[in-house]
């Protein structure tokens, strides 16, 4: 028997979620339920897994359970990039075949999401906008030069964009240089996740605000999931729980919970938009990994994202005072880029937890008899969660494919972490050093 100790505890300040229309009444787990398959976690991975199971097995009963509302957790709190390229350290992998597999998987996820957005008319600002990777000064430009070499080795299209082009698009002269890559898509993450949840096949039942407190073997090779007001008996369990996988007793001491923060403005008025002077619907990530991500949404909101925290108790590791400090840091980054909008306030500031591993390895596969998981997205949850959840369902039912072989080739076991307090000291020191080193790019 495994007891889950820590549950998600996300703040209520997520702007993406607050911008949604009112949600239908929630359906919770109650009473004793039987399911052919149970999926825990209604983020990108869990939604994709449940959908794939339902499509493959239309007569099966599938229960998808989440401790919160779909779209309220980590999958609805990111910056809204669906990235096709191998991301950050994955792009530096020495094996070209490894990177090509990642490209194929990411692009399959994008195609899958685009098909669902179109089929179900999900209103989520879905856009094939591409992505800028921007540099402020010499440090960032050195990273861009390295990024250009890696893209050349990969054979992927890109172009350099200078200060004048960037000012025309971004409405700021803050950036000296950037690389534009065309394969990235932008979206409103909470709207996309809730749209995916609303459009699940009829043999998937979504149970929200229904935390699973413990798992128990049923004595016959299956599992019983215990909630507050009910339970689920199932022979097969899929975990789309990312960092929370360790709370069920799996991958303990192998995942690192990190929270990153964002703030956004209210929609700009016509007069403010004229002062801004740039375009709508673009996204920029920093050349220096510890720098600042910036987005302008289709509905005229500017987003600033930076600041990373090690959060061993997830949302309970944060506080209102910490978020105020983060908000002030975001304000400084905003004013450095858009001084002409100094009178435009932030309306929301929020954080989101994701999992990284010390060896930047994603886990995918069987954890226990009848238990399958995809965990540790290393900061690229939209594409990776979608394709890994889809293929996890195939893995659970024994449906082989070239894509399944690809994902099994690029995943493995996250490396073990050192014990506390050394882990916390080390992670905090690394984050502080990265922030100090990257201060010119923030």
Helices (H), 121-239: 138-154, 163-170, 189-198
Reduce the DSSP state of residue 91 to 3 states and report it.
helix
| Cα–Cα dist 282/295, whole Å | 6
State the average pLDDT over residues 112-121: 98
Name the residue among 232, 255, 262, 228 with its Cα closest to residue 312.
255
* 235-289: pLDDT as tens digits: 999 999 999 999 999 999 999 999 999 999 999 999 999 999 999 999 999 999 8
Which region, left, alpha or beta, applies to residue 219 given φ > 0 means left and ψ of -120 to 50 means alpha? Answer: left
Least confident of 51-60, 189-198, 309-318: 309-318
**Quick check: 1 pLDDT over 60?**
no
State the average pLDDT over residues 320-333: 96
Q: Are strands 230-234 and 223-227 parallel, antiparallel or unpaired?
A: antiparallel
Backbone angles phi, psi at 227, to 5 degrees: -110, -170
The contacts of residue 123 (CB under 8 Å, 6+ apart) are 191, 195
Name the residue among 252, 260, 261, 288 with its Cα closest to residue 423.
252
The contacts of residue 227 (CB under 8 Å, 6+ apart) are 29, 65, 210, 211, 212, 213
Q: What is the pLDDT of residue 287?
A: 94
Please give the distance of CA 243 from its chain centroid, rounded to a whole number: 11
* 434: confidence class by pLDDT, cuts 50, 70, 90: confident
User: Omega of the bond prior to 421 within 30 degrees of 0, cis?
Assistant: yes
Reduce the DSSP state of residue 298 to 3 states and report it.
coil
* 379: confidence class by pLDDT, cuts 50, 70, 90: low
Residues present in the chain in total: 442
Name the residue among 306, 273, 291, 303 with its Cα closest to residue 176.
291
Q: What is the pLDDT of residue 174?
A: 97
State the average pLDDT over residues 141-160: 96
| Cα–Cα dist 105/388, whole Å | 9
* 283-310: pLDDT as tens digits: 999 999 889 999 999 999 999 999 999 9
Q: What is the pLDDT of residue 441?
A: 77
Q: Where are the domains of the chain?
A: 2-76+191-254+362-419, 125-182+256-358+425-437
Please give the distance of CA 244 from its chain centroid, rounded to a whole number: 14
State the average pLDDT over residues 406-415: 97
The contacts of residue 187 (CB under 8 Å, 6+ apart) are 80, 82, 113, 117, 124, 125, 126, 127, 382
Q: What is the pLDDT of residue 4?
A: 62
Q: What is the mean pLDDT of the chain?
A: 95
What's the topology of domain 2-76+191-254+362-419? Answer: FAD/NAD(P)-binding domain (3.50.50)
| Cα–Cα dist 327/305, whole Å | 10
* 377: confidence class by pLDDT, cuts 50, 70, 90: confident
* 2: confidence class by pLDDT, cuts 50, 70, 90: low
**Quick check: 416 pLDDT over 70?**
yes
| Cα–Cα dist 100/86, whole Å | 9
* 387-399: pLDDT as tens digits: 999 999 999 999 9
The answer to whether domain 2-76+191-254+362-419 and domain 125-182+256-358+425-437 are alike in fold is no
**Quick check: 352 pLDDT over 60?**
yes
Q: What is the pLDDT of residue 437?
A: 78
Q: What is the pLDDT of residue 424?
A: 80
pTM: 0.96
| Cα–Cα dist 206/39, whole Å | 10
Q: What is the pLDDT of residue 319?
A: 94
Q: Contact at 8 Å (CB) between 198 and 141?
A: no
Q: What is the pLDDT of residue 442?
A: 78
Q: Domain 125-182+256-358+425-437 is of which CATH architecture?
A: 2-Layer Sandwich (3.30)
State the average pLDDT over residues 340-349: 98
Exposure of 262 by Cβ count < 10 A (0-12 exposed, 13-18 middle, 19+ buried)? buried
Backbone angles phi, psi at 77, to 5 degrees: -120, 0
Q: Contact at 8 Å (CB) between 285 and 132?
A: yes
């Amino acid at each position: 028997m495994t007891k889950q100790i820590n549950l998600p505890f996300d703040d209520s300040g997520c702007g993406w979620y607050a911008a949604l229309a009112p949600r239908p009444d929630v359906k919770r787990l109650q009473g004793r339920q039987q399911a052919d398959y149970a999926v825990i976690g209604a983020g990108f991975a869990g939604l994709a897994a449940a959908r794939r199971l339902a499509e493959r097995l239309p007569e099966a009963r599938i229960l998808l359970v989440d401790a919160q509302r779909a779209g309220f957790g980590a999958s609805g709190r990111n910056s809204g990039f669906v990235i096709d390229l191998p991301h950050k350290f994955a792009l530096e992998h020495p094996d070209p075949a490894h990177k090509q597999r990642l490209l194929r998987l990411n692009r399959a996820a994008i195609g899958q999401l685009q098909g669902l957005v179109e089929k179900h008319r999900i209103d989520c600002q879905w856009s094939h906008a591409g992505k800028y990777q921007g540099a402020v000064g010499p440090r960032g430009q050195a990273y861009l030069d390295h990024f250009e070499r890696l893209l050349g080795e990969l054979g992927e299209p890109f172009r350099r964009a200078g200060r004048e082009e960037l000012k025309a698009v971004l409405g700021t002269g803050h950036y000296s240089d950037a690389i534009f890559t065309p394969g990235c898509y932008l979206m409103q993450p909470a709207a996309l996740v809730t749209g995916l949840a609303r459009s699940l096949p009829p043999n998937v039942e979504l149970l929200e605000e229904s935390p699973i407190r413990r798992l128990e073997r049923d004595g016959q090779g299956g599992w019983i999931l215990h909630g507050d007001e009910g339970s689920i008996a199932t022979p097969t369990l899929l975990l789309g729980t990312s960092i929370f996988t360790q709370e069920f007793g799996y991958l303990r001491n192998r995942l690192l919970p990190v929270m990153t923060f964002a703030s956004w403005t209210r929609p700009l008025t016509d007069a403010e938009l004229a002062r801004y002077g740039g375009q709508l619907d673009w996204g920029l990530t920093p050349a220096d990994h510890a720098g600042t991500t910036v987005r302008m949404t289709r509905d005229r909101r500017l987003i600033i994202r930076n600041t990373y925290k090690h959060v061993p108790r997830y949302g309970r590791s944060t506080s209102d005072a910490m978020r105020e400090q983060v908000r002030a840091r975001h304000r400084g980054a905003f004013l450095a880029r858009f001084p002409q909008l100094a009178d435009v306030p932030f309306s929301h500031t929020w954080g989101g937890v994701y999992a990284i591993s010390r060896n930047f390895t994603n886990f995918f596969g069987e954890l226990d008899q009848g238990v399958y998981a995809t965990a540790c997205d290393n900061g690229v949850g939209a594409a990776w969660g979608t394709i890994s959840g889809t293929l996890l369902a195939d893995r659970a039912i024994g449906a082989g494919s070239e894509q399944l072989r690809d994902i099994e080739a690029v995943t493995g076991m996250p490396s073990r972490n050192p014990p506390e307090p050394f882990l916390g000291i080390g992670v905090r020191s690394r984050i502080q050093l990265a922030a100090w080193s990257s201060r010119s790019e923030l």
